[in-house]
Amino acid sequence: MRRVLRSAAVSLTAVSALIIGGCSGAPPLDDAYAPHGWPAAHADARNSGTSPAEGARSISFDWSRPIGAPTATAASVASNGQIFVTSRSENGCNLYSFEIESGRKRWCNRLGPGVAVSTPLVDRVTNVYVGEDGAMNSFNEHGQLRWRTVVSGTPLSAQFTADGNLLFVTHFGVVSVLSTQTGKEIVPSYQLIPTPTYDTAKDLPLPPAAQGLEQCFFGAPECPVSTAAAIDLATGRFFLTVWRPGRPHAELVGLRYADGRITEDWSSDALPGGVTSSPVISADGTTLYANDNKGALWALDAETGAPRWNHDLGFAAAGSPSVAADGLIIPAGSDKGRLLALEDKGDHAELLWERKDLVQLGVPAQTGGATGYTVVREGETGLAVLTFDTDTGETLDQDTLPGAEGFTVGTSIGPGGEVVTPTLIGEVFVLR
User: Residue 35 belongs to a domain with what CATH number?
Assistant: 2.140.10.10
Looking at the chain, the whole-number percentage of residues with pLDDT higher than 90 is 85
DSSP state for residue 36 in the 8-state scheme: S
In a domain, 242, yes or no: yes
Instruction: Write down the pLDDT at residue 217.
Output: 79
In this predicted structure, the answer to whether residue 199 has a pLDDT above a threshold of 60 is no
Instruction: Write down the pLDDT at residue 209.
Output: 85
In this predicted structure, the answer to whether residue 24 has a pLDDT above a threshold of 70 is no
Q: What is the mean pLDDT of residues 224-240?
A: 96
Half-sphere exposure at residue 213, Cβ-oriented, CA atoms within 13 angstroms: 24
In this predicted structure, the answer to whether residue 15 has a pLDDT above a threshold of 80 is no
Task: Kindly write down the DSSP assignment for every residue of 110-164, as one continuous string.
Answer: ---GGGGG-PPEE-TT--EEEEETTEEEEE-TTS-EEEEEE-SS-B-S-EE-TTS
Cβ proximity of 237 and 231 under 8 Å = yes
pLDDT digits (tens, 9 = 90+) for 150-168: 999 999 999 999 999 999 9
Q: What is the mean pLDDT of residues 279-301?
A: 97
Distance CA 92, CA 81 (A): 24
Instruction: Write down the pLDDT at residue 18.
Output: 39
* Closest-CA residue to 78 (of 138, 36, 139): 36
pLDDT digits (tens, 9 = 90+) for 35-61: 899 999 999 999 999 999 999 999 999
In a domain, 51, yes or no: yes
In this predicted structure, the answer to whether residue 71 has a pLDDT above a threshold of 60 is yes
pLDDT digits (tens, 9 = 90+) for 108-147: 999 999 999 999 999 999 999 999 999 999 999 999 999 9
Alpha-carbon distances of 313 from 3, 185, 297, 318, rounded to whole Å: 21, 41, 7, 12
| pLDDT band, residue 200 (cuts 50/70/90) | low
In this predicted structure, the answer to whether residue 16 has a pLDDT above a threshold of 80 is no
In this predicted structure, the answer to whether residue 233 has a pLDDT above a threshold of 90 is yes
Instruction: Write down the pLDDT at residue 17.
Output: 42
Q: Which domain holds residue 258?
A: 17-56+72-327
Number of domains in the chain: 1
Half-sphere exposure at residue 375, Cβ-oriented, CA atoms within 13 angstroms: 31
In a domain, 342, yes or no: no
Q: What are phi and psi of 117, to 5 degrees?
A: -100, 5
pTM of the model: 0.91
Residue 187 CB coordination number (10 Å): 17
Q: Say which range, 21-30, 134-143, 213-222, 367-376, has the weakest mean pLDDT.
A: 21-30
In a domain, 392, yes or no: no
What average pLDDT does the structure give for the chain? 91
Angle at the Cα of 377 from the Cα atoms of 376 and 378, rounded to 5 degrees: 115
In a domain, 86, yes or no: yes
Element housing 93 (H / E): none
Question: Residue 304, Cα to own-chain centre: how many angstroms?
Answer: 23
Task: Kindly write down the DSSP assignment for every residue of 227-257, as one continuous string.
Answer: S--EE-TTT-EEEEEE--TT-SS-EEEEEEE
In a domain, 155, yes or no: yes
Q: Please tell me the total number of residues recorded for the chain in this structure.
A: 432
In a domain, 66, yes or no: no
* Closest-CA residue to 226 (of 16, 37, 41): 41
In a domain, 272, yes or no: yes
Q: What is the mean pLDDT of residues 223-243?
A: 96
User: Torsion angle of alpha carbons 141, 145, 147, 153, nearest 10°?
Assistant: 100
